[in-house]
Copies of this chain bind each other. A is one copy, B any other.
Amino acid sequence: MRHDSLADKNCAVARTWSIIGERWTMLILREFFRGEHRFDPIARKLGLGRSVLTDRLRMLVDEGILERRHYDSVPDRLDYHLTNKGEDLYTLLVAVIEWGDKWVVDEPPVTLTHKKCGHQPHLSLHCEHCETELTRRDIHAEFAPDAW
């Protein structure tokens, strides 16, 4: 099966992965979450060829995750910004960081803190009804008849 064909599956993981599971995409998005907006610094930082980065940015714009903005008119220059759909990938990025911090790096290279109190937040799978944090064992997954 082609990787592209994941976009047609009735599965949130497959469709999401058809977008962000492409090589480099999550690293490019990381640069935006760090406050970068322009082509050249991202290409330099990631050591990416122009054609690969052009391709990925176009895909992220087509998917509505980034939007192009004019920041100068003479000469005409464009940069890129996260849309609401893009901003919403922050939770996923933090999930990647938390797993990586725990399992694949020695000392966390980035520390996230709550601005207001200075304490470190963490992602929790939370049941609002019971006001408790859940683990995988607490969860039942119900698949729709047409789920992939």
Contact = CB atoms under 8 A, between A and B. Distances in A.
Contact of A3 (B23, B103, B113, B138): B23
Contacts of A139: 112-115, 121
Contact of A114 (B15, B85, B93, B134): B134
Residue among A30, A97, A98, A103 having the largest count of chain B Cβ atoms under 10 Å: A103
A74 interface: no
Interface string A96-116: 111111111101111111111
A70 interface: no
Give the interface SS of chain A, mostly helix, strand, loop or mixed.
Answer: mixed
A39 interface: no
User: What band does the interface of chain A fall in when counting residues whose beta carbon is under 8 Å from B?
Assistant: 35 or more
Given A1-B48, A88-B99, A89-B99, A130 B117 contact: yes
Contact of A109 (B101, B109, B148): B148
A42 interface: no
Nearest to A34: B141
A112 B141 contact: yes
A66 B128 CA distance: 32
Contact of A27 (B6, B85, B138): B6
Nearest to A82: B136
